């Protein structure tokens, strides 16, 4: 592999690592929001405000889908990078 | 076999190769505790699934919630306590302590005495005209039981009272303050 190709690959690798770190930070943020949402929904339910329960469940479901999609993204990138490393 | 007994060409290769025991006991503590990105993300995603399951559980509970019937019971006599005075009673069941306060000549309010934070017993402060939880300084309004200050997340459940002749009768509990 010539030097230019190696440098290009390093740049791409760094970019990929940045994307992975970003995805993991995002998943953590979504998870923190979801934990807060569960406690807030439970408090509303216990206080007799049942109106908040259904929207809480829907939003929690959407946050879970977001987390699952990000997990899939991280998983795919890791798998792909493992395959690429195997080829080298 | 000791290195001194090996031929010189094999000594060099024996020195560069890892010892045999390292291959056979190839478990390293650092490797054991190493968490990959994939594992960590999987843990986050599963925790998220758990939170979602929690929300679904709350939703199911709210759908299956049945209307509770409360006993109608005389809990005090009118004029039994002075203005600014307090009476403790159990409602709706035994062991469920409630607090009644006479706020004016013809005005009585009653709430569950259990703080909504960590279930400590609240008391009435006549000076501040508030219900106070001594454990973590939670303060509730005497008017509707709503939280004024401190960590309690919910208002105090209210005991709905009715005057029937000389009796003050508890008819039901109201979790949600009237808006």
Write out pLDDT tens, residues B2-13: 667 777 777 777
Is the separation of the CB atoms in B38 and A75 below 8 Å? yes
In-domain check, residue B179: no
Please indicate, yes or no, whether residues B81 and B120 belong to a single structural domain of this protein.
yes
Q: Which residues of B touch A42 (CB under 8 A)?
A: 54, 58
Q: Are residues B87 and B169 in the same domain?
A: yes
Do B177 and B155 touch, CB atoms closer than 8 A? yes
The minimum CA-CA distance between B169 and chain A, rounded to whole Å, is 23
What residues in chain A have per-residue pLDDT under 50?
none
3-class state of residue B177 by DSSP? coil
Q: Are residues B130 and B101 in the same domain?
A: yes
Q: How far is the CA of A58 from the CAs of A54, A72, B14, B54, B116, in angstroms? A: 6, 21, 63, 12, 26
Of B38, B44, B116, the CB nearest to A67: B44
Mean pLDDT of B57-81: 89
Has the ipTM of the complex gone over 0.95? Answer: no
Select the residue from B38, B46, B51 to test the A interface by mutation, using most A Cβ atoms within 10 A.
B51
B30-34, B67-71, B133-137, B165-169: lowest mean pLDDT where?
B30-34
Are both B146 and B79 inside the same structural domain? yes
Report if residue B36 sits inside a domain: yes
The residues pairing with B100 across neighbouring beta strands, listed in sequence order, are B87, B110
Shortest distance, CA B54 to any CA of chain A (angstroms): 7
Q: Is B130 part of a structural domain of the chain?
A: yes
Q: Are residues B50 and B80 in the same domain?
A: no
In chain B, which residues have their Cβ closer than 8 Å to the Cβ of A32?
A: none
Residues B97 and B151 in one domain: yes
Assess whether B126 and B168 both reside in one domain. yes
Residues B40 and B14 in one domain: yes
β-pairing, B147-149 vs B158-164, is unpaired
pLDDT > 90: what percent of chain B?
A: 54
From the candidates A34, A36, A61, A62, which should be mutated to test the interface with B, based on the most B CB atoms within 10 A? A34
pLDDT of amino acid B56: 96
* Same-domain status, B96 and B13: no
CA distance B48 to chain A (A): 5
DSSP states of chain A: --HHHHHHHHHHHHHHHHHHHHHHHHHHHHHHHHHHHHHHHHHHHHTT-GGGHHHHHHHHHHHHHHHHHHHHHHHHHHHHHHHHHHH-
Domain residues for B22? 3-63
- Assign B52 a pLDDT band (cuts: 50, 70, 90): very high
Tell me the shortest Cα–Cα distance from A16 to chain B, in angstroms: 13
**What is the number of CB-based contacts under 8 A between chain A and chain B?**
98
Q: How far apart are CA A45 and CA B52, in angstroms?
A: 16
- The domain total for chain B is 2
Asked whether residue B42 is domain-assigned, the answer is: yes
B168 in the same domain as B81: yes
CB contact under 8 A, B38 and A78: yes
Is A35 part of the contact surface with chain B (CB cutoff 8 Å)? yes
State yes or no: cis peptide before B92, omega within 30 of 0: yes
Candidate from A81-85, B71-75, B86-90, B126-130 with smallest mean pLDDT: A81-85
Q: Measured over all CA atoms, what is the biggest interatomic distance in chain A, rounded to whole angstroms?
A: 69
Q: A52 and chain B: CB distance < 8 Å anywhere?
A: no
Looking at the complex, does the CB of residue A68 fall below 8 Å from at least one CB of chain B?
yes
Indicate if B81 and B11 belong to the same structural domain: no
* pLDDT for residue A10: 77
The answer to whether position B68 is within a domain reads: no
Same domain, yes or no, for B18 and B80? no
CA nearest neighbour of B101 among B63, B140, B46: B140
- Between chains, do B38 and A74 touch, taking CB under 8 Å as contact? yes
Do the domain assignments include residue B129? yes
Q: B140 is written with which tokens? A: 């509730």
CATH code: domain of residue B88: 2.102.10.10
**Tell me: the pLDDT tens digits for B142-178?**
999 999 999 998 899 999 999 988 899 999 988 776 6
Domain stop point among B63, B86, B102: B63
Within-domain flag for B87: yes
Q: How far apart are the first and last CA of chain B?
A: 89
């Amino acid at each position: 592999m010539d030097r230019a190709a190696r440098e290009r690959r390093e740049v791409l690798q760094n970019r990929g690592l940045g994307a992975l770190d970003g995805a993991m930070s995002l998943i953590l943020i979504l998870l923190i929001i979801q934990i807060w949402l569960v406690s807030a929904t439970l408090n509303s339910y216990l206080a007799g405000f049942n109106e908040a329960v259904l929207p809480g469940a829907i939003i929690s479901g959407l946050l879970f889908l977001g987390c699952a999609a990000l997990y899939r993204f991280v998983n795919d990138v890791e798998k792909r990078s493992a395959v690429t490393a195997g080829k080298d | 076999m000791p290195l001194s007994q090996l031929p010189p060409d094999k000594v060099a290769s024996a020195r560069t190769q890892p010892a045999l025991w390292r291959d056979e006991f190839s478990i390293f503590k650092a490797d054991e505790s190493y968490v990959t990105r994939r594992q960590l993300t999987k843990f986050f995603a599963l925790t998220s699934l758990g939170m979602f399951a929690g929300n679904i559980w709350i939703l199911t509970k709210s759908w299956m919630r049945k209307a509770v019937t409360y006993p109608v019971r005389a809990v005090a006599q009118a004029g039994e306590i002075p203005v600014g005075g307090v009476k403790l009673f159990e409602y709706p069941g035994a062991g469920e302590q409630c607090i009644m306060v006479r706020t004016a000549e013809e005005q009585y309010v009653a709430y569950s005495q259990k703080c909504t934070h960590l279930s400590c017993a609240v008391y009435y402060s006549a000076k501040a005209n508030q219900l106070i939880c001594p454990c973590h300084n939670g303060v509730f309004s005497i008017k509707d039981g709503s939280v004024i200050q401190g960590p309690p997340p919910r208002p105090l459940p209210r005991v709905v009272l009715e005057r029937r002749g000389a009796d003050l009768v508890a008819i039901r509990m109201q979790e949600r303050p009237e808006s």
